[in-house]
Structures are given as structure tokens and as C-alpha cells.
Amino acid sequence: MLHSSVQAAASAAVEPPWKKMKPNPSPPSFLSLPDVIILNCLARLPDRPLPSWFTLWIQPDQIEKKKATLVQVPSSYASREPLFLRRVGSDIYALLRPKSFACVLHGKIYVFGGCKANESAESWGEVLDIKARTWEPLPDPGDELRFSSVIRKIEITQGKLYVRSNEEKDSVYDPKTRKWKATPKAREGDSRCMVGNIYYACRAKSCMWYDKECNEWKQVKGLSSFNKNYRSGLIETVNYCGKLLIMWDKLAQPRLRRNCQEKTICCALVALEKRQNGQVWGKVEWSNGVLTVPSSYVFLRSSVIRT
């Protein structure tokens, strides 16, 4: 009995291990540092680059002076992808699907991307019939395009939709046959658009137009002086009120090159004319730098909205 009592008393005197364990101290807070160190750390943080919209500002009296500027559009930034706008007639449609691309063909809006690749293949591409107000899924383009991280541009040529991506090949969709097929990529640096019923392609030091009758790319005449001054760094080519608007960038101080921290975005407006001999001539109405940006800037997309 005595042995049992002593053993019981000893057991009662010894605390369980979990009572002896001390709670882990909380990790030191950033705010617990001295103010001097906090300010030093914050000063070393780089500025966060936020997407910004710019509008090309051209006043009537500026055309004669060959002056135009890109003006930043005031807007509060929200941490989401910008809406993709498409205009059909007098209506403007905003796509709520982030990271999507769209184009308008024969009164219908075609939407590509903007959903997870592992979702239903029918969700990746859809077409909106504006008159009927109905959506219809497009055929599956295949895993390569659906899993592509970047869709750069959608071009319309002879009633077909060319989807330019970062994959080895581009994809083309034929609305008549409802079929997809792979197509060779456009040449590096190409930027194409349709003006009137003629397709144009611009690259470094050249501007071409596509002759449907002989299925051949031909040089736009009258731009030899402009082509000599034009350099690589092509950003975009768009149809601006029936004229060709070419946008490119160049180093603000070309002599520095490696150490140059800024680039100048340049624009040129080219009027086009198809003459009786079958040649297309261009006339540069104005050409100049419109905005200075950091050399690390990234161009996302452009949109022409006529009011």
C-alpha cells in the first residue's frame, strides 16, 4: 500500500509534457523594425507597373503642323483585366470575360479565350448573333490553341479568322465550313489590317498590299522616303478612318542603346489610293513621335472607337 501511495503521489507531482511546453513566439512584425530601416526597405521597392489607356489626340490644326500626341486616359485602376470593346453599328459591346479576344464578321461577334483551358472545349470559342441575340459555341480548336498562354491578335482575311498566338503555328477558322486548321505563322515583325477591301502588311522598311487577283503581295508605292526612316520596333497597324495608322517605337537616344532607359512611340498616318494601273500609292500625311515611355514598357492592345 505504501509503495502504491508513493507512486501515485509522484505521478501527481509530475506535470504532463504539454504543460511544460512554451508557446512559440510570434515572428517579428515588419512594423516592429526601426522607422529608418522601414523607410529604407520601402524606398528600394520598384514602382508597380499598372496598365494605362492612351488615346491618340489629333486636332484639325495639328495635321498641317504634323503634330499629334498620345494622351493618357484618366481612370482609376482596378486589379483586373480591362474590358475588351467591340463596336457594331452604333452599339458598343463590352466583353466581361478577362483575357479574351474578339472580332466582328458579318454582323456576328466571335469571342476566343478568356477561360481555363481545362474547362469545356465549347467554352473557349463562342459566337454572338447580334440580330437573334443568341450565343453558339464554336468547334474545339484543339489543345495547342486552347492551352496557349497568349493570343496576340485576330485578323480577318477573305472571310476567315486568323488567330495569331505564341505557338509554333497560327490557327484559322472558316465560319462557312465551321472547321479549324493550322497555318504558318506570319513573318516576325508583320502587322496586318484591312483598309477598304484591301489587306495591308507592314514590317521594317516596307509596306505591302495583297492583290487578290494574282494572289500576290505588292509594294505600296510612294513611301520610299518613309521606308528609309522607318526602323524595326513595329507595334501596331490599324485602319484609322480609311487610312493606315502605323505605330512603332525607337530608342529615345539611339547612340546609348544598351544604357538608354526610354523609348519614343511614333505614329504615321498614311492615305491610300488605288490607281487605274492597278498600283496602290500611299501618302504620309503626318509622322512624328507621340509619347515617351520607359524602355521596359509592354504594349498590350489597341482599339479604334469612332464617335
- 72 vs 54: CA distance, rounded Å: 4
CB 205 within 8 A of CB 227: yes
Average pLDDT over residues 28-32: 61
Residue 292 — very low, low, confident or very high, per pLDDT cuts 50/70/90?
Answer: confident
Q: Which residues contact 88 (CB under 8 A, 6 or more apart)?
A: 104, 107, 109, 130
pTM (predicted TM-score): 0.57
Whether domain 97-186 has CATH 2.30.30: the reply is no
* Phi, psi (deg, nearest 5) at residue 72: -70, 135
**Residue 9: how many CA atoms within 13 Å on its side-chain side?**
6
Distance CA 202, CA 50 (A): 29
Q: What is the pLDDT of residue 48?
A: 53
For the chain, the domains span 52-74+188-307, 97-186
Measured CA to CA in angstroms, residue 130 lies from 7, 92, 118, 257, 306 at distances of: 89, 12, 28, 50, 19
pLDDT band at residue 307 under the 50/70/90 scheme: low
Q: Per residue in 234-285, pLDDT tens?
A: 778 888 888 998 888 877 676 666 677 888 888 889 999 998 888 999 999 9
- How do residues 106-163 score in pLDDT, each as one tens digit? 888 898 887 765 666 667 888 988 888 898 999 888 877 777 656 777 878 778 888 8
d(CA 106, CA 104): 7
